[in-house]
Each structure stands twice: as C-alpha cells, then as structure tokens.
C-alpha cells in the first residue's frame, strides 16, 4: 500500500496515535445517474493513496473489461462492486469506503442515482455529516438533483457541496458554472438549504479535487478535499446539545456494580451531574463514568461509556438518560415524516414494530396527512404510501418512548418501522413533535373491572375470532354457536362482518387500507366487550395475518381463540349464496378476497374447522365443547 504519511516508515507507533485522534467525517455522494459519483470516490481513494497494489492492478484489468474511459483508468470500478453495476455502469446498492488524510478520517457512502433506489440513498444518508451532490455540467440541475436535495434536507444534513462535475466536457466555462449555481440556489431556498458550497470540478481529470485547477483560474474557492478536511462534523455540534445517553445495555456483573452502557448521542456529562431518566421521569446523580481504560472526569457526544448512578432507580434497555435541566421528551403519539421502503404499501391501522435506539414498541399509523411529491414539493392527499413514497403521518404507540425532535437530535428522533411477521425493515421515520393529545389523555381508573364483571356472569370472557373465505360458513356457524351458548344462559355478543358495515364501519370500502381499518375497529370493539365480561364471537374474513395478530395482541394470552373456517375456494365459490363470486369473476366487484385480493390463511390457528367433513351444527357443537374445555364457560 502506498505511504500516506512519512510516520508510517519512521515511527509507526506515533503514526497510530496521531491517526487515532483524528476526527471522523461521514459523508455521502448523491445525484442523478451518470453524474460521476463513483468516479469521484474512486479518485479520492486514488489521490489519498489508500489503494493496495493489487487493487490498482485489478482496477487496470477491470477498466479494460468494463471501463467507459477507453484506455484510461475507470475510477468508478473501485466502488461499483456488484456485477450488475459494472455491466450497466450504474450504482445500485450503497457502497461504503474508508480513506484518510493527515488531517482527518473519512467514511463515504456512494448512493444510487435511480429513483427506484431512493430507499438505498436514504440508508446511506441516515448517518452522514455532509453531502456531496453531483451535478453534470452539461445537464445542469435535474429532477433527481432536486429529489436528492430534498431528501438530504429532510434527513437533517446541512453541510452540502454542490459538485458541478465534468467541467472538462464544457471547456471549463465559467458561465456554465455560474448558471448552475443560480439555478440551484433558487431551489435550495424553497427547501430551506443555506450555506451551500459550489465547486467546479472534473472527477475524471482530477480538477479541484485535491489541488486547485489550472484549467479554471477564474475559480478561487476551496477544493473538495480542502472542504472535507475542514467542515464541522456532527460530533462537534452535538457536544453543544443537551446530554443524551440512550441505554443499550444494563451492565450487572455482580451485586456491587450496576451500570448503564451506551453511546452518548448529545452533550457532555460529568460525575455529579443531575440526570433524569425518560420515559419514567425518575432523577438521580451521575456517580462514575466507567470505560475499559478507567474512569473519566468527562465524556462527550460520540463516546461509548457506562454510567453508574448515586441512586438505585429502575432503568431498562431503550430508556434515555438526559440532563435534568433539559430532558428528552416522553410521549406515545407523534407527527412524523415516513419514507416507505417496502414493496407492500403502508396501510394505516396496521400494527408495525417501531425501533428507536434500543427501544422496540408497537406502532400504528393513524392518519396520513399528506404525501410529498419530492419532484415538485407539492403536498398530495394519500390513503397509503407506496415504495419510496414520503409522507407526513400521525403515529400512535402502545407505550410512551423517550425522544427528541429529529431536527434537534437524529439519534433520539429517528426510527425505523419493522413488519411484525417478516421482520423486514419497511420504513424509516423522523419525529417532528409529540401530539398534544398524548399528554392530555390518560387512562381513567375504574373500580369495577373485567374480573368482577365476568364473575357476575359466571363465565370467562374471550373472543372466538372466526376467519375464512367468503362463503366458508363463518356467519352460519357463529350464529349457531351463539344460540347454543345463549340457550345455556351465557352472556354473548356476535359481531358479524356485514352487520358491522351497516353502522360502525359504513364509511369503509374494500381496499386493503379499508380492510385493515375495518378489522382494527372491530378488534377494539371486541376488546371493550371482553372487558365487559362477554363471550364475543366475530365473523369476518379478516384476510391478513397482521391484523389478526393485532387483534390477538389486544387481549390477554388466553382470551383470543382464532377459529379457521377451512373451506376450499372452489367449495366456497360453489355456495355463493350472495352471488359475490359471480360478480367478482365478471369484474363487477373489485378487491374480492380469493379472486383478486389475497387471503392469508392462518398457519397455526387455535381451532380448525373443516366444513367439507363437518356440518355447521356439528362445528358449532364442537366449538362450544372446545370453549368448555378451555374453561371459558365457568362451572
């Protein structure tokens, strides 16, 4: 590997000590397709002499096979590692590269330019301190330039270089550079970007990358490397913020030590500082700051430490230790911006897992206020969010979390959404503020509880949740079950799909979003009825596993019984008492389950009823006996 410092050859220990103390800048390159992002990073790696000899040899060989620069080196091939990237000459995945100079260490993320890979660009930008936005001097400011600028602004990156690349292809003309600067400034004002630095360059030729370009004597600003070596990094800014330590681990090796470990997300802490733990609100004082190398007198943003406190208070993984004078907020409802990152759309009412720091809770999007058209900045009405869409949404959690607005602290204000069934990350979000209702609405204590109501009725409350295709026999069997229970003096209520849509859910249609909301409302009503001590029977198609799981999560573990009315599609369609299948086959009824809308059959239902081998009355009798076996019918 080429020497990057004379100290490597003369005093390696001194070099390593100096290298360890260098600040670290994380930055991204972004922009439209073919603007030269990968070439720029390859040039930076080459000029900083961070390449091994075999890497140079491989680049020379690959340049002949895949390169787009004739006989010359194609620096983009140092970064584009996927075969598809090399074949097409584009960036698809996010590529991270490390390099350093005598002044600073760098981690650069090369992010895709195609609109379809917007989620990859967001991933790369989520940890960046600065952004290098590439613009092709021949094409100027494009739609994708505006799109990435908006995303950079949204993600809180305020140190931005507009690198006007390929100046060699416009004869290094100053008027071209000035025109692009003026065009970009007018757009930047609309999205609140200020302090943008413009640099004319040629990543391929090396103009204005490391040294000022002799080809552009009219430009007197900084080089790109000069900018990167001197721009402020986030850790420096965060040290001026209020103290925040998201707890990643409670360290209890023995009875005499209890520490709270994590990476400081903001501010400075010293022994003796008064702290508050959120969301509980309990306070104490810092006793020690423990590290592997010994106790510290002070710790700052970016350091990983373990704190011990003067008092024994309850702190769990995912809590946030804050300064008592300016603590983090605590709430369970928020206005947020969501970037949707999954092929299946976001559906309001569907439960997801929300992960913020080390804390994981259940979250539901209650309302999509609007979707942002990032090409025009127009606010558009939306009921769902598709892949790569960005929307402003209200979010409700099942418990309070500690937070800061994302604009103040990205670590304590940013989160991801996770699909509960597949564990796929489906969205990334930024907290704006807590909704006022989260602070003003509290659960009211009542003296007559579920147990006392159930005891009065001499039964154990529960939900028999029937699911199956239309025509499977759900309503018929559910009605017979209620008749048999009623005949024996039990207190029941039947929630039927069609009946509920005449009242509570009459405003809902049959889109996926409406079906999710339909089941969410029914589940909440069933929960209230169980709290009243009733045996509740629901007869709904409820086609999605996620919503059935949501309904189960509202009840106690033994209160939810999923009953799969297992009837083959051809049998259900053959019955077709309401003529719905015929309408669906003729195209007169859209989004009909089993025809043009999916049904996700239960994988492990609590009870499976095969209506091909069992009559409706036999099924009802079986379910009453099953309920009795589970202890739901009292003595």
Question: Binding site for ATP, residues?
Answer: 468-475
Query: Maximum Cα–Cα distance for the chain, whole Å?
Result: 96
Q: What is the DSSP string of 24-81?
A: EEEEEEEESTTSSHHHHHHHHHHHTT---HHHHHHHHHHHHHH-SSTTS--GGGGT--
Instruction: Write the CB contacts of 106 (distance below 8 Å, at least 6 apart in sequence).
Output: 24, 25, 26, 27, 44, 98, 99, 100, 228
CB 510 within 8 A of CB 591: yes
Q: Is 134 helix (H, G, I), strand (E, B) or coil?
A: strand
CA distance 589 to 207: 63
Other residues' Cβ atoms within 10 Å of the Cβ of residue 462: 24
Cα dihedral 128, 129, 133, 134, rounded to 10, equals -80
- 10 Å CB burial of residue 262 (0-12, 13-18, 19+) is buried
Select from 227, 209, 234, 195 the least CA-distant residue to 24: 234
As annotated, the binding site includes 31-38, 110-114, 165-168, 468-475
Q: What angle do CA 176, 178, 183 make, to 5 degrees?
A: 95
**Beta-sheet strand order (sheet of 282-290):** 244-246, 320-323, 274-278, 282-290, 304-309, 257-263, 249-254
CA distance 137 to 316: 53
**Beta-sheet strand order (sheet of 462-467):** 492-496, 535-539, 462-467, 560-566, 607-610
CA distance 523 to 517: 10
CA distance 281 to 401: 11
Identify whether 542 is a catalytic site residue. Answer: yes
Chain centre to alpha carbon of residue 147:
19
242: DSSP letter: P
Considering 438, 542, 597, 615, which one is annotated as catalytic? 542
Chain centre to alpha carbon of residue 474:
37
Instruction: Write the CB contacts of 69 (distance below 8 Å, at least 6 apart in sequence).
Output: 63, 204
CA distance 478 to 496: 9
- Which residues are designated catalytic? 542
């Amino acid at each position: 590997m080429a020497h990057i410092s004379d100290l490597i050859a003369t005093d390696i220990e001194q070099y390593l000590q100096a290298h360890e103390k260098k600040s670290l800048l994380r930055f991204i390159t972004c922009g439209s397709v073919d603007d030269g992002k990968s070439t720029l990073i390859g040039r930076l790696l080459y000029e900083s002499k961070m390449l091994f000899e075999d890497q140079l040899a491989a680049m020379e060989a690959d340049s002949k096979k895949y390169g787009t620069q004739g006989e010359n080196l194609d620096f983009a091939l140092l970064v584009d590692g996927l075969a598809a990237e090399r074949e097409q000459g584009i960036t698809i995945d996010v590529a991270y590269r490390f390099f350093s100079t005598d002044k600073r260490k760098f981690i650069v993320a090369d992010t895709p330019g195609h609109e379809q890979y917007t989620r990859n660009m967001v991933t790369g930008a989520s940890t960046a301190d600065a952004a290098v936005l590439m613009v092709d001097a021949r094409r100027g400011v494009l739609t994708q330039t505006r799109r990435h600028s908006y995303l950079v602004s949204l993600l809180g990156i305020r140190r931005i270089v507009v690198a006007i690349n390929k100046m060699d292809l416009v004869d290094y003309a100053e008027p071209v550079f000035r025109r692009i600067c003026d065009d970009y400034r007018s757009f930047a004002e609309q999205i609140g970007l200020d302090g943008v630095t413009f640099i004319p360059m040629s990543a391929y030729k090396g103009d204005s990358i490391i040294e000022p370009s002799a080809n552009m004597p009219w430009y007197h600003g900084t080089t790109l490397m000069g900018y990167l070596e001197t721009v402020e990094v986030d850790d420096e800014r965060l040290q001026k913020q209020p103290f925040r330590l998201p707890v990643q681990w409670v360290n209890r090796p023995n009875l005499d030590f209890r520490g709270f470990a994590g990476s400081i997300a903001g501010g400075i802490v010293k022994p003796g500082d008064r702290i508050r733990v959120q969301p509980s609100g309990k306070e104490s004082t810092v006793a020690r700051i423990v590290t592997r190398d010994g106790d510290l007198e002070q710790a700052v943003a970016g350091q990983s430490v373990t704190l011990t406190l003067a008092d024994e208070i309850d702190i769990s993984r995912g809590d946030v230790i804050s300064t008592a004078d300016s603590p983090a907020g605590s709430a369970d409802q928020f206005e947020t911006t969501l970037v949707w990152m999954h092929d299946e759309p976001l559906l309001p009412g569907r439960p997801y897992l929300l992960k913020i720091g080390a804390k994981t809770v259940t979250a539901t999007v209650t309302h999509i206020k609007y979707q942002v058209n990032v090409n025009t900045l127009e606010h558009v009405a939306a009921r769902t969010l598709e892949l790569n869409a960005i929307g402003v949404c209200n979010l409700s959690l099942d418990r309070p979390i500690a937070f800061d607005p994302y604009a103040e602290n990205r670590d304590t204000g940013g989160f991801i959404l996770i699909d509960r069934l597949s564990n796929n990350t489906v969205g990334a979000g930024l907290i704006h503020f807590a909704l006022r209702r989260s602070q003003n609405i509290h659960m009211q204590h009542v003296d007559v509880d579920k147990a006392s109501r159930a005891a009065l009725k001499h039964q154990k409350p529960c939900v028999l949740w029937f699911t199956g295709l239309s025509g499977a026999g759900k309503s018929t069997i559910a009605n017979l079950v209620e008749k048999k229970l009623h005949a024996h003096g039990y207190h029941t209520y039947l929630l039927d799909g069609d009946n509920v849509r005449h009242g509570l859910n009459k405003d809902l249609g049959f889109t996926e979003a409406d079906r999710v909301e339909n089941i969410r409302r029914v589940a909440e009503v069933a929960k209230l009825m169980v709290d009243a001590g009733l045996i509740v029977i629901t007869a709904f198609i409820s086609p999605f596993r996620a919503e059935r799981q949501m309904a189960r999560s509202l009840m106690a573990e033994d209160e939810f019984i999923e009953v799969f009315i297992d009837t083959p599609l051809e049998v259900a369609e053959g019955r077709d008492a309401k003529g719905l299948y015929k309408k669906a086959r003729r195209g007169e009824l859209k989004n009909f389950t089993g025809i043009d809308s999916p049904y996700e059959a239960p994988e492990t239902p609590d009870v499976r009823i095969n209506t091909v081998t069992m009559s409706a009355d036999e099924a009802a009798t079986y379910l009453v006996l099953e309920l009795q076996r589970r202890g739901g019918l009292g003595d």
